[in-house]
Amino acid sequence: MRMFFLRVSLISACLILAIPVLSRAQDSTAGNAILGQWLTTDGTSKIEIYKCGEEFCGRIAWLKEPDKDGRPKVDENNPDQALKSRPLLQLEILRGFAFDGEDVWKGGKIYDPKSGNDYSAKMTLVDPNKLELRGYVLMPLFGRTETWTR
């Protein structure tokens, strides 16, 4: 009888210790729901969101008009003269996002090649095929939201 209680206690202890590990694994899987390619609101580009270490990043994977005057489009609006000649295709525009639970990714930055500016940003997965991205200055109140589709 004492051996039975010892086994039950040991099994219970193992289950209790496993709960946080299983919970983190579920959070990690839920966080990955954002991975893949997303068509921007205006339909001019697709952004591939991928894992970069423990964070989430995104790069331009496709451009509706990849060329300008027969040459690949470049980051001509970048304020850094040395970066103005880098190609837009494969340019990383999302960086540093962390899964915050409840289909939200926070703490990241978005680079807008049209203006050459970086903005703080937050992403919300509205449904499996709709992503809301809010870029802002200082606080989300002072920003703009775009809806991307898978």
Total domains, the chain: 1
Q: Which residues are 110's β-sheet partners? A: 94, 119
**17 sits in which H/E element:** helix 2-31
The model carries a pTM of 0.79
In a domain, 49, yes or no: yes
Q: How many whole angstroms separate alpha carbon 136 and alpha carbon 44? A: 21
Structural domain span for residue 138: 34-149
In a domain, 14, yes or no: no
CATH number, domain with residue 116:
2.40.128.520
In a domain, 7, yes or no: no
In a domain, 3, yes or no: no
Distances (CA, A) of 86 to 36, 37, 41, 126, 144: 24, 22, 24, 33, 26
Kindly state the tokens that stand for 47. 């952004």
Single-letter amino acid code for the residue at 67: D
pLDDT band at 10 (very low <50, low <70, confident <90, very high): very low
Q: Give me the chain's average pLDDT, please.
A: 86
User: What's the pLDDT at 142?
Assistant: 85
In a domain, 15, yes or no: no
pLDDT band at 139 (very low <50, low <70, confident <90, very high): confident
